[in-house]
Amino acid sequence: MTTTEISGEKRGFLATALIAIGRVAVSLFVPIVAFVVLWAGFIFLRDSNAPQGIIAAVAIVWGVGGVALLFWVTDWVVNRTSVTVAKKLQPFVFVGPALAILAWYLFIPTLRSLYLSFFDAQSNNFVGLANYIFAFTDSKMIESFTNNLLWLILGTGGAVGFGLLIALLADRVKMEKFFKSIIFMPMAISFVGAGVIWRFIYAYKPAGEDQIGLLNAVVTFFGGEPQAWFTMPVWNNVFLIAILVWLQTGYAMVIISSALKGVPSSIIEAGRIDGAGELRIIRSIIIPYIASTLVTVSTTIIIITLKIFDIVFTMTNGNYGTEVIASMQYKQMFRFYHYGRGSAIAIVLVLAVIPVMWYNLRQFSKREGF
Amino acid sequence: MTTLAKKKKHNWNIVVNIILIVLVIIWSIPIIGLLISSVRPQDDVLNTGWWRIFAGEGNFTLNNYRRVLGGSQSTFTDAAGNVLRASGDNLSQAFINSFTVTIPAVIIPILIAAAAAFGFAWMIFPGRKIFFTIVVALLVVPLQIALIPILRDYMKLGLTGSYLGIWLAHTGFGLPLGIYLLYNYISTIPRDVFESAFLDGARPMVVFARLVLPLSVPAIASLGIFQFLWVWNDLLVALVFLGGTSDVAVLTQRLANMVGSRGQDWHLLTAGAFVVMVVPVLVFFALQRYFVQGLMAGSVKG
């Protein structure tokens, strides 16, 4: 393989067109053949009565082996063609399957959702902006926007704030690794699992009975009345957000912590010599130095909060005023089967991440060498 | 340093350690409570707080695990020695399902992403820049956008509720990050590594399989753990494409169902939650170093 195109070569229009068709064909070949082979396999497996474990094992070998084999086969086919043609088709053996799958699963769906968002529940009649009017004026939708904003501010603020605090503190002690591992561990736990863990903490029993939820036990220990936390308007959102903070603080901490290691100790020493106290050094030297890391971490968590679904779905199912955008979208799709509204809400979510997308692209185009 | 300054510094250190210990306790209490409750008998869990065991109260049992793991005809012996029959939650089947979903949904996107990253990094072709820009843009696109269109395709193709459908969905949603992470890594492999291979007339596919993949193992490990945790812990994609009640349901779906149907059976819910989290937590501790590297490299993901 060379990475330079053969220049000065004269090609007719027909040849150019054939190469273009070949590129598309190569891109689609692996995914489509893989798909058909796998599909046939699945029909076969579904109709057989083998034990669960064997079906699972066969499915795994089939799926993974099939994809690897088909890469190899396309490459073989491309190499049967003439050298010049093979050279032009070769890159698409590698990037083609990925592009085809991305097109099917993310790129085209964005356009299709946009299209569907202008139609009614069954996508039969054009309804103009009605779904968007619903998305921005329905009382449940407004509730979910407000809640998502709360998630965004408290969830991101909490996770980044605690992450920064712990990273700064752990940087100064001997058992840094141990402390960080514990804080980091919830990252491995699913939102559903965390939901169960925290439902138990928030569990409620009427006053006078022995509380089994930790939070109510603490409240009653100090002489308070036990509360059904999930039904307290507005505050219940905060209790749900606490779960996200518990899960995501570790992520913020790890990234911030590695940025802290990159702050040159000479600058900090210079600050000390000038008589700055510890807090002053953190505020005036360390924080400005790691500002770009803080932005990246915040952005990532902001996107997580915008899409938050699992926690709300398992904890309250959006009841008691805890609805969020993603849970509304799920309900429109699977409870009301209103594809128009569901699509419109999904488009709203995409609009919300466009500033981040724009920022990423700008950062990327600044990088040299592409 | 004067003795006063030393003493001040020493005090400061103690304060920092105490704050950290308090935070670590707060962070680990939820998990400790879960573990303890999952091995307490039903009556204890439902009537007294789990922290009572520190006062020496209560017993331990593995019945909760037997029950959540068991199928519909589970039998168990209660505290009084009676043999009971009760319907279990069959998490052991969901456990196998989770592996069946997760293993290919990790390996397939890594294979495809690695090939694409190699193409983007080392080959020149028309549209290279615009295609990669699209990949970067898709990094943050919420997967919610794809649910309705893809579900419609799946209904036409008869793919709803099949493993193939969910593998492909996770492949599609995992590819942008996969390509981006592996591109960053593969594009830094020194050029001379490939040159002798090409001089020997090796095909790109051979170079990819024999050189690029082995050299990229650290990046592939990071991405693999990332994708593993994401797929194993996912609920939304499984709910939409696998369906809620079928026998292909994965652990997160079963647990979410248990929350709905057994909302107050804390002895079972805690055991179930532990079954769901045990694998990712083990993987996480075993491979924490790679995971951290992956996080650093991929902190643009949405």
Please indicate if any CB of chain B lies within 8 Å of the CB of A192.
yes
Query: In terms of CA atoms, which chain B residue is nearest residue A204?
Result: B264
DSSP string, B74-121: EEEE-TTS-EEEE----HHHHHHHHHHHHHHHHHHHHHHHHHHHHHHH
pLDDT score, position A239: 92
Domain boundaries, chain A: 13-97, 133-366
Please indicate if any CB of chain A lies within 8 Å of the CB of B173.
yes
Are B167 and B101 in contact by the 8 Å Cβ rule? The answer is yes
Q: Which of A46, A197, A365 to mutate to test the interface with B (most CBs of B within 10 A)?
A: A197
Chain B residue numbers touching A84 (CB-CB < 8 A) = none
Please indicate if any CB of chain A lies within 8 Å of the CB of B257.
no
pLDDT at A165 over 50: yes
**Residue that wins the pLDDT comparison between A208 and B253:** B253
Mean pLDDT, rounded, for A301-329: 88
Please indicate if any CB of chain B lies within 8 Å of the CB of A107.
yes
Q: Which of A95, A122, A292 to mutate to test the interface with B (most CBs of B within 10 A)?
A: A95
Please indicate if any CB of chain A lies within 8 Å of the CB of B10.
no
Chain B residue numbers touching A72 (CB-CB < 8 A) = 205
pLDDT at A246 over 90: yes
pLDDT score, position B79: 52
CA distance B28 to B81: 35
pLDDT score, position A2: 41
pLDDT at B86 over 70: no
pTM of the shown model: 0.85
Categorise residue A319: left if φ over 0, alpha if ψ from -120 to 50, beta otherwise.
beta
A222-230 contacts, C-beta under 8 A, 24 or more apart: A228/A204, A229/A202, A229/A204, A230/A202, A230/A315, A230/A316, A230/A320, A230/A322
Convert the pLDDT of each residue in A25-70 to its tens digit.
777 776 677 777 777 776 666 666 666 677 777 777 877 787 888 7
Are A285 and A332 in contact by the 8 Å Cβ rule? The answer is no
Class of domain A133-366: mainly alpha
List beta partners, residue A142.
none
Chain B residue numbers touching A347 (CB-CB < 8 A) = 145
Residue B187 pLDDT grade (very low, low, confident, very high; cuts 50, 70, 90): confident
Are A291 and A199 in contact by the 8 Å Cβ rule? The answer is no
Most confident of B14-28, B248-262, B288-302: B14-28
Please indicate if any CB of chain B lies within 8 Å of the CB of A231.
no
CA distance B173 to B156: 21
Chain A residue numbers touching B200 (CB-CB < 8 A) = none
pLDDT score, position A52: 67
Q: Which of residues 31-60 of A touch B (CB under 8 A)?
A: 35, 38-39, 42, 46, 52-53, 55-56, 59-60
CB pair distance less than 8 Å for A217 and B51? yes
Chain B residue numbers touching A52 (CB-CB < 8 A) = 93, 96
Q: What percent of chain B has pLDDT over 90?
A: 16
Nearest CA-CA distance, residue A208 and chain B, Å: 12
CB pair distance less than 8 Å for A56 and B97? yes
Query: In terms of CA atoms, which chain A residue is nearest residue B225?
Result: A188
Mean pLDDT, rounded, for B59-78: 71
Convert the pLDDT of each residue in B91-147 to its tens digit.
888 888 898 889 889 999 999 999 999 999 888 888 888 999 899 888 888 888 888
pLDDT at B301 over 80: no
pLDDT score, position B5: 66
pLDDT at A299 over 50: yes
pLDDT mean across residues, chain A: 84
Q: Which residue has the tokens 């590297």?
A: B293
Nearest CA-CA distance, residue A181 and chain B, Å: 8
Q: Which of B8, B13, B20, B207 to mutate to test the interface with A (most CBs of A within 10 A)?
A: B20
Full set of structural domains in chain B with CATH:
94-248+278-297 (1.10.3720.10)
Mean pLDDT, rounded, for A293-322: 87
pLDDT score, position A233: 82
Q: Tell me which DSSP letter residue A119 carries.
A: B
CA distance A257 to A266: 18
pLDDT score, position A254: 87
CA distance B32 to B26: 10
Please indicate if any CB of chain B lies within 8 Å of the CB of A105.
yes
Residue A143 pLDDT grade (very low, low, confident, very high; cuts 50, 70, 90): very high
Mean pLDDT, rounded, for A303-316: 87
The dihedrals phi and psi of A117, each to the nearest 5 degrees, come to: -70, -10
At B181, the amino acid letter reads L
Query: In terms of CA atoms, which chain A residue is nearest residue B279?
Result: A188
Convert the pLDDT of each residue in B197-247 to its tens digit.
777 777 888 888 888 899 888 889 888 888 998 999 998 899 888 875 567
Chain B residue numbers touching A91 (CB-CB < 8 A) = 119, 123-125, 128
CA distance A35 to A29: 10
Nearest CA-CA distance, residue A297 and chain B, Å: 7
Helix (H, G, I), strand (E, B) or coil at A226: coil
Q: Tell me which DSSP letter residue B212 carries.
A: I
pLDDT at B1 over 70: no
At A88, the amino acid letter reads K
Convert the pLDDT of each residue in A178-209 to its tens digit.
888 888 888 888 888 898 888 888 888 887 77
pLDDT score, position B81: 55
pLDDT score, position A4: 41
Query: In terms of CA atoms, which chain A residue is nearest residue B129?
Result: A370
Q: Which residue has the tokens 């990712």?
A: B280
pLDDT at B300 over 60: no
CB pair distance less than 8 Å for A200 and B23? no
pLDDT score, position A1: 40
Are A236 and A322 in contact by the 8 Å Cβ rule? The answer is yes
CB pair distance less than 8 Å for A109 and B131? no
Q: Which residue has the tokens 């990159």?
A: A262
pLDDT score, position B2: 59
CA distance A21 to A11: 15
Nearest CA-CA distance, residue B16 and chain A, Å: 6
Chain A residue numbers touching B213 (CB-CB < 8 A) = none
Closest CA to B149 of A113, A341, A333, A118: A113
**Residue that wins the pLDDT comparison between A338 and B196:** A338
Residue B266 pLDDT grade (very low, low, confident, very high; cuts 50, 70, 90): confident
CB pair distance less than 8 Å for B276 and A192? yes
Nearest Cβ partner for A360 among B24, B113, B140: B140
